[in-house]
């Protein structure tokens, strides 16, 4: 029988509130060079907890190294659809040919212990009045996207907290709910207003798709009540060379330079 994670067993709630700085990253996609650049960037900023929103693997050339770094450095990691796909045979039909090629390659590369770690990942986590999830707060395992104000409005109706951090689309941006009005924008520093609610996409470490090839991540400062969104330069050509050596699809190699 195919393995399927239970949503209800995979939602963790931590009601303890601690004032701290959370580093939040997503969509590493086996891009070790980008992940190392982000971690180096983080070392120059004081953060108390690192949270990964999933998709450690897929697309890129270094799945084991990326999984191991997240095991070593992250205090929490959620399940992404590519993480799930390397464990679940049937879901490959949902991916395009390039992604399927990379996922089949990744399955062969991953060690048993790293697969075992991926299998432990939960779908959603609630902590300090914030929700952390790869895709959406409503049925995370459906792997839906939040790309429009209309989609954000639907997800706000299911959201239990005033903050929600997501990845999945590889596009950094912020949806804000002010009473019944939904707005969308992109800023480097977002002061948070408690009367409002937010869905914040921290973008992608390993494969941005907003025409900016730099790695993306965010920091939530629960003391200052603000979110800082960062872009980090990395040597994507080094990742491209490793992908070529692994015979991964040229389309996946080329897109790193264009941020698409």
DSSP 112-124: HHHHHHHHT-BSE
**pLDDT (0 to 100) of residue 7:** 40
**pLDDT (0 to 100) of residue 17:** 55
Residue 145 has pLDDT above 70, yes or no: yes
| 97-110 mean pLDDT | 97
Residue, of 46 and 109, whose pLDDT is higher: 109
Residue 118 included in any domain: yes
- Write phi, then psi, for 173 (nearest 5 degrees): 175, 170
Residue 32 has pLDDT above 50, yes or no: yes
Residue 14 included in any domain: no
The residue assigned the tokens 């989609």 is: 151
| 20-32 mean pLDDT | 97
Residue 9: pLDDT band with limits 50, 70, 90: very low
Which CATH number covers residue 117?
3.60.21.10
pLDDT in tens, 197-221: 999 999 999 999 999 999 999 999 9
**pLDDT (0 to 100) of residue 93:** 87
* Structure-block tokens of residue 125: 């986590």
Handedness of CA 98, 169, 34, 76 (dihedral sign): negative
Residue 8 included in any domain: no
Of 203, 236, 220, give the one whose Cα is nearest residue 134. Answer: 203
Of 188, 224, 181, give the one whose Cα is nearest residue 203. Answer: 188
| 241-251 mean pLDDT | 98
Number of domains within the chain:
1
pTM of the entire predicted model: 0.92
Residue 16 included in any domain: no
Residue 31 included in any domain: yes
Q: Are 58 and 86 in contact (CB under 8 A)?
A: yes
Tell me whether residue 143 is exposed, middle or buried, using C-beta atoms within 10 angstroms of its C-beta: 0 to 12, 13 to 18, 19 or more. middle
| 151-159 mean pLDDT | 96
C-alpha to C-alpha distance for 174 and 185, rounded to whole angstroms: 5
Residue 247: half-sphere exposure toward Cβ, Cα within 13 Å: 3
* % residues pLDDT > 90 (the chain): 87
Secondary element (H or E) of residue 134: none
Give the residues across from 77 on adjacent strands. 52
The residue assigned the tokens 């009005």 is: 181
Residue 13: pLDDT band with limits 50, 70, 90: low
Residue 19 has pLDDT above 90, yes or no: no
| 60-64 mean pLDDT | 98
Residue 91: pLDDT band with limits 50, 70, 90: confident
Residue 5 included in any domain: no
| 20-25 mean pLDDT | 96
Q: 113: domain range?
A: 21-191+199-258
**pLDDT (0 to 100) of residue 1:** 32
Q: What is each CA distance from 143 to 55, 73, 83, 129, in whole angstroms?
A: 12, 25, 12, 23
C-alpha to C-alpha distance for 142 and 23, rounded to whole angstroms: 26
Residue 181 included in any domain: yes
- What residues contact residue 105 under an 8 Å CB cut-off, 6+ apart? 246, 247, 248
**pLDDT (0 to 100) of residue 88:** 78
Residue 6 included in any domain: no
Q: Are 203 and 26 in contact (CB under 8 A)?
A: yes
């Amino acid at each position: 029988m195919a393995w399927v994670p239970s949503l209800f067993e995979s939602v963790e709630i931590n009601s303890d509130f601690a004032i701290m700085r959370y580093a939040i990253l997503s969509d590493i996609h086996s891009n070790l060079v980008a992940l190392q650049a982000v971690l180096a960037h983080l070392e120059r900023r004081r953060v108390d907890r690192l949270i990964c929103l999933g998709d450690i693997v897929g697309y890129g050339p270094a799945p084991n190294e990326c999984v191991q770094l997240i095991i070593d450095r992250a205090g929490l990691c959620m399940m992404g659809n590519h993480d799930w796909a390397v464990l679940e045979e049937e879901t490959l039909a949902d991916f395009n040919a390039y992604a399927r090629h990379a996922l089949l390659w990744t399955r062969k590369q991953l060690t048993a212990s790293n697969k075992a770690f991926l299998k432990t990942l939960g779908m959603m986590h609630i902590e300090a009045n914030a929700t952390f999830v790869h895709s959406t707060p409503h049925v995370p395992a459906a792997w839906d996207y939040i790309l429009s104000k209309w989609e954000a409005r639907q997800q706000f109706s299911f959201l239990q907290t005033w903050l929600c951090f997501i990845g999945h689309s590889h596009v950094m941006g912020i949806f804000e709910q002010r009473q019944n009005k939904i707005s969308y924008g992109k800023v480097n520093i977002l002061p948070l207003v408690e009367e409002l609610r937010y869905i914040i996409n921290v973008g992608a470490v390993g494969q941005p798709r907003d025409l900016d090839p730099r790695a993306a991540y965010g920091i939530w400062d629960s003391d200052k009540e603000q979110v800082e969104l960062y872009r980090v330069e990395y040597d994507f050509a080094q990742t491209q060379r490793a992908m070529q050596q692994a015979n991964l699809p040229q389309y996946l190699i080329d897109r790193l330079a264009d941020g698409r």
